[in-house]
Each structure stands twice: as structure tokens, then as C-alpha cells.
Amino acid sequence: MDGPLRIGIAGALGRMGRAIAATLEGRPDAAVTLGFDAPGTEGQPWLAATLGGPQDAASCDVVIDFTTPAASVALAQAAAARAGPALVIGSTGWGETEDMQIWSAAKAIPIVKSGNFSLGVNVLAGLVQQAAQRLSAQDWDVEVFEAHHRRKVDAPSGTALMLGEAAARGRQTELAAVQVRARDGITGPRPAGAIGFSVMRGGGIVGEHSVTFAAEEETLTFSHSARDRSLFARGAVAAALWVAGKPPGLYDMMDVLGFRD
């Protein structure tokens, strides 16, 4: 490719949009060529230019999208209809229908979709899967804990669900069949093989995640702490550089990091 990669930012006015723009500043291999946000923001001052709209995405090689599942689906369907650009999607709070729509769009364009773009978190997911393969579901209970700032609107977080999926893969089962997302009242004994989720919301917590394997005699805990959103922005930019020119398909950070090579 001649010149730097042309990157668009969907959700440009949000915290992640601003972090991605800052991460790209001064890079020789990639540059921001478009920013857009919610309808009605077109023409607002942004960086050294003004905000555009999703209809302008055809001018980009890759769009990095941290918005909402509905907005991400609309963007992906429009990109698939014109065979580009490639997408990096970090939106969270997905439903089954929206997931299927992204799968359909990925038949026409390359898409990297992840609940978390942190290198550390994705290594953590690999370790959780390996531990789940080796620790019996009859003897070891799995609990995923996550904490985020008070403004986060979905729970469990996309990262927590990603970690739960990793544990389920390790045990060769579907997360939907074994997950326990809430406990209240007289719940009875914990079912063998259940993967539980515990959630905290408060203050300005960027992101805390841990996965505990608990047996009668011992516990094993893997954990990750996010200190600054720039780590997610760096991962998203790395994904954008990786996905440019890839064949159509739905990828995740395990692909970007080469864990599936």
C-alpha cells in the first residue's frame, strides 16, 4: 500500500474515539482521514477538520468503530454492500441477531471484532482456555469478575463474556448452556460446570477482570487491570494495520496476535 493507512473513526467524539485519534497522531504508517459520530454531528469541528458521516467511509481503508451494536451493524452492512472498507469493531452489548448480521457482513469484507483489544487481556483469555482444558469441571468452579466505571451501560462486559467463552471452549461446551449471570435469593447449590459472572459498577474504574478456578482445596486466579484507555486504542490500531488487505471474514484479536497461525 502506498502511503499511510487511511483510518476512519466511528464514535469520534467518545472516549475511545479520542484515544484512537491521539494514538494515531504523528504515526508514519497510519493516519486519521475521517471522523464521524451520531447523526446531527456532521460538520462539527474535530481535530484539524470537521466531522463527516458514515456515508463518507468509502474514502477509508479501515474504519475503527467503538459505538453501539446497532450502529456497528448499520456500518458493516453499508460497507459490505460496497465491498469496503475493512472494519475493526469494539462495540459491546451484542445480541444474537446483531451477531448474525455481523457474520453476514463479514462474508463480503474483513472485520476484526473483539470485546477487548488489550494484548494482556487476549493473552489472559488464552491462559483461561488452557486452564479450563486441564481442570475438571466437576472439581473446579469458574467465576468471572469484572468492574467498570459507573457510566458503562452493559453487563457483563464484553471482555467478561470473552473470558467466559474462553473457559467454555476449554471445556468443549457452549457458554450459553453453562453461564450463570445473576444470583439472588435461595439459589441452591452451585451446579457443577457452571461458569458464573460477578459485576461491579462504580466511579471511574477503567476495567478490572479476573477469572477464578475454585476447588475444595485451592483456588487459581488470573487477573488483568486496565490503567488507561490508550492500551485499547493501541490494540485497535494494531488490528486496523493487520486487517487491511485481508480476505473477507470475521476475525478477532487471537488472529491479529498470531495465536491461530
Q: Catalytic site residues? A: 148, 152
For cell 481442570, the residue is 135
Q: Which three cell numbers stand for residue 62?
A: 479501515
Cis peptide before 28 (omega within 30 of 0): no
Q: How far apart (Å, rounded) are the C-alpha atoms in residues 188 and 112?
A: 40
The grid coordinates of residue 95 equal: 445480541
**For residue 164, which of 204, 193, 202, 205 has the smallest C-alpha distance?**
193
Contacts of residue 258, Cβ cutoff 8 Å, sequence gap at least 6: none
Cβ 67 vs Cβ 93: under 8 Å: no
